[in-house]
Amino acid sequence: MKGIGKRFPGVVALDRVALEVYHGEVVALIGENGAGKSTLMKILGGIYQPDEGSIVIDDQPVSMHSVADALHLGVGFIHQELNVLDNLDVAANIFLGREPRWGGFLKLIDRSRMYAEAQTHLARLGLDVSSRTPLNKLSIGHQQMVEIAKTLSQDARILIMDEPTSSLTLSETERLIGVVKDLRTRGVSVIYITHRLGEVREVADRVVVLRDGRNAGGISREEIDHDRMVKMMVGRELEDFYVHPQGVVRQPCFEVRELRTRRYPQHAVSFKVNKGEILGFAGLVGAGRSEVAQAIFGVDPPVDGKILLDDRPVKVQAPRDAIGRGIYLIPEDRRTAGLILEDTIRENITLSSLPRYASAGLINFASELEAASDIFRKLNVKAPSIEEPVGNLSGGNQQKVVLAKWLSLKPRVLIFDEPTRGIDVGAKAEIYELMRGLAEGDVAVMMISSDMEEILGVSERVAVMHEGQLTGVLERTECSEEAIMSLAVGKE
Amino acid sequence: MRKELGTFALLVVLCVVVAIINPRFLSPANLQNMARLIGLYGIFSIGMGIVIITGGIDLSVGSVFALLGVLLSMMLAQWHWPGALAVLTVIGVAVVLGLIHGALVTRLRIQAFIVTLCGLLFYRGLARFIANDETKGFGTGAGFEWLPKLATGSLFRVPMPFVLMIVIGAIMWVVLHRSVYGRYLFAVGRNEEAARYSGINARNIIASSYALSGALAGVTGVLLAFYTNSISPSSHGNSLELYGIAAAVLGGCSLRGGEGSIIGIIIGAALLQVLQNLVNLLGIPSSLNFAVMGAVILIGVIADQLFKRRSAPA
């Protein structure tokens, strides 16, 4: 791709960007959100047309006007959000729209051939799944593999993967990386977009960094280095990135005793959170961390156990009980559980605290607006106005709105579930800062995260879970990637 | 707001066109008659709209009218209950039925369509059974002379049902658009899960909307019984729930929930009555009545959809 330019009304999304990919090479494309990665890839994938520049594949200048054109030229696109029909089985998904036929004009589906061929495609990815399994019986990781199998079955030579690991567990991520490496040896070129710099080091032959719609530089395999990538992406030092707390003696204020969740009733979970600390929760996806959080918050009330705040028991049957005691959850899925996307920023911020701005059940709009604007400014939410529907905001700003909802109340315990998933580096730093500020304000903060760097960088202590069991709580001095991992996989 | 404006414009255009073709449209008798019907339909359409805003639906309304009508006639004409007691009891029954619907929808998680469809069948059958399938009336009306006036009387020449609709509409406007409860209704309709995560008792909010719809259906049930003055249990109120749904949708409610306004619903209810009137006044065969209504609603929804697509960002 040479000199690619793309303008949208009001913004230049790409300004003379170049990208080269060789046969059998894995190129990591990194940059903050809004840096132009997705736009560039959408041009290569035939979704957008460039305003200027050219695309050359195997020395042939090409033009693509649709996804079908791109596929025809061997460019496959695995989107961040999965494009699968989860009520159909694996083979039906792989061959969707290109089902093998028989029976002449009747156009019946040749089922035996379809299932057999699908099975070989799966085997080639080392996937041990029957092609007759309905997709909704598979994990997200496996569903994604099916999508990759689908793309490869269409003879893709260039595979674009947009944040393929953002919703995968650690072991699924490892498997995906294995598949990518395998594809490389088979001569497939992969363009790999990610926010996880650890993966870049592992998988990429070369790194291309975009910043503000321009090429910000490239790094070859030998020189790939975390700090260097971060610097290129944001033009700032790593030090502003994570805040390291000082070692001080803290008082416990929140305690969970023998808590049993509905998903893992066989395991009782007990831990304490100190006033002013951030307790990280590490573990593989499915380790039961979100279940614990949801039990504490009352979304899925605990089947047994005690929750104590300042040594006083808290009875939680529904989120409103937890909220009444100042225990808040920032859920993993902000778009479905954290926010009402059609509502404005103001309405979302005040949703939990509305009775405060009302008398006799009637809302006082002036005081509602004042309170919401106050917190809106304090959190530096980037939006044209507070009356903007939150659905129009970027992930980072949406997350700030979720946070604003709780900050307008008085938090005692704040549980973050994957607080920075899908959020760009700049907004991440702001969220960490807010978390730190909250902890310093004597809020007990819990942070569930599958991002190891985040766990290590932000937490003061780290609780590790494995399949519903709390396998250990590490003090800051004991924390290392290896120590956490060995607890997370459930080894002694 | 835009959708309400569109429906309002359609209403005005229709009125002007009908008035030009047949000036009798503007005769006091015709206007009064129409206003009376707008009032009757408007009141329960508001309740329907509120249920739709939470993402539900209430198909049982028409059958509830029959059941309430039969009960009311028996209380007043056979058992000689005091008027006020009979009216309050009937409205109470409607609220309880609404609460039952709400409980089934929120506690057992049965789809509102199914719950209220069963209600539609059940109450109709119950009404016919209680009434022995005989047409019921109010006899001489001795002892509760004031009651029929609520349906057939006027205040300063404005039909009482219309006055009641304006009063109820004003109250419900405040409830829906100015109160905490109203905000919760929309929140629950837009994203029940997020509402729950925000500490809203989503199930109770949803259940209460059916009770509210029941209460407004109760009021309409009383008015309708006196308006027709005879209740034949097999046909009284038949398919009126569909008018309520149509009024709500024309007025900007989305069946997906989370959208709608009181003013819109009232405009929608008015539009439906003007359409009825148009069929009568323009000499269109009355058998085409439903066809005309269906066509106009469809055109309205298509226009709205096309407009939305054009104004949506590319």
Q: What is the pLDDT of residues B95-123, one digit of tens each?
A: 999 999 999 999 999 999 999 999 999 99
| Residue of B206, B208, B216, B205 whose CA lies nearest to B91 | B216
In a domain, A247, yes or no: no
Best probe of the A interface among B172, B197, B205, by most A CBs < 10 A, is B197
In a domain, A19, yes or no: yes
pLDDT class for B52, splitting at 50, 70, 90?
very high
Chain A hits for B258, Cβ within 8 Å? 342
Q: Do strands A327-330 and A413-417 pair parallel, antiparallel, or not at all (unpaired)?
A: parallel
Same domain, A203 and A259: no
**Nearest CB neighbour to A362, from listed B178, B196, B199:** B178
In a domain, A111, yes or no: yes
pTM, rounded to two decimals? 0.75
Spatial separation of the C-alpha atoms in residues B260 and B52, rounded to whole Å: 8
Overall number of domains in chain A = 2
Chain B hits for A323, Cβ within 8 Å? 198-199
The helix (run of H) or strand (run of E) holding residue B72 is: helix B61-73
CA-based nearest residue in chain A for residue B181: A361
In a domain, B278, yes or no: no
A323 to B179: CB separation less than 8 angstroms, yes or no = no
| Residue of A372, A470, A467, A401 whose CA lies nearest to A171 | A467
Instruction: Print burial letters for B204-230: b (CB count within 10 Å at least 16), e (below 16).
Output: ebbbbbbbbbbbbbbbbbbbbbbbbee
pLDDT(A238) > 50:
no
Q: Is residue A449 a contact partner of residue A362, using CB atoms and an 8 Å limit? A: no
Q: A263-309, pLDDT tens digit by residue?
A: 888 888 999 998 888 899 988 767 888 889 999 998 888 888 888 88
Spatial separation of the C-alpha atoms in residues A252 and A326, rounded to whole Å: 16
Residue A10, pLDDT score = 54
Residue positions counted in chain B? 314
Spatial separation of the C-alpha atoms in residues A375 and A381, rounded to whole Å: 9
Residue B166, pLDDT score = 94
In a domain, A114, yes or no: yes
Chain A hits for B186, Cβ within 8 Å? 343
Residue A488, pLDDT score = 76
Boundary of a domain, candidates A237, A269, A303: A237
pLDDT class for A492, splitting at 50, 70, 90?
very low
B contact set with A (CB within 8 A): 174, 178-181, 183-184, 186-187, 190-191, 193-201, 258
Domain that holds residue B188: 40-238
In a domain, B150, yes or no: yes
Same domain, A473 and A388: yes
Spatial separation of the C-alpha atoms in residues B213 and B253, rounded to whole Å: 15
CATH number of the domain encompassing residue A82:
3.40.50.300
Instruction: Print burial letters for A154-193: b (CB count within 10 Å at least 16), e (below 16).
Output: eebbbbbbbbbbbbbbbebbebbbebbeebbeeebbbbbb
A355 to B180: CB separation less than 8 angstroms, yes or no = yes
In a domain, A41, yes or no: yes
Residue B1, pLDDT score = 61
Best probe of the B interface among A340, A388, A401, A415, by most B CBs < 10 A, is A340
B180 to A343: CB separation less than 8 angstroms, yes or no = no
B258 to A329: CB separation less than 8 angstroms, yes or no = no
The tokens for A88 are: 């159909």
Same domain, A163 and A293: no
Same domain, A143 and A224: yes
Chain B hits for A387, Cβ within 8 Å? none
In a domain, A246, yes or no: no
In a domain, A272, yes or no: yes
In a domain, B34, yes or no: no
**Nearest CB neighbour to A340, from listed B190, B199, B201:** B190
pLDDT-above-90 percentage for chain A: 9
CA-based nearest residue in chain A for residue B185: A351
Q: A151-201, pLDDT tens digit by residue?
A: 888 888 899 988 887 777 777 788 888 888 888 888 889 999 887 777 888
Same domain, A274 and A233: no
CA dihedral defined by B180, B186, B187, B193, rounded to 10 degrees?
130
Same domain, A211 and A314: no
The tokens for A276 are: 């002013």
Distance (Å) from the alpha carbon of A341 to chain B's nearest alpha carbon = 8
Q: A106-138, pLDDT tens digit by residue?
A: 778 888 888 888 888 888 777 778 888 888 888
Same domain, A230 and A259: no
Domain that holds residue A157: 2-237
Overall number of domains in chain B = 1
Same domain, A343 and A201: no
The tokens for A184 are: 């490389």
Chain A hits for B201, Cβ within 8 Å? 318, 320
The residues, ordered by sequence, that sit 6+ positions from A94 with a Cβ below 8 Å of its Cβ are A118, A121, A131, A146, A149, A150, A153
Same domain, A262 and A120: no
Same domain, A340 and A477: yes
Q: B120-137, pLDDT tens digit by residue?
A: 999 999 999 998 888 888
Boundary of a domain, candidates A237, A267, A285: A237
Boundary of a domain, candidates A173, A204, A237: A237
Q: How far apart are the first and last CA of chain A?
A: 51
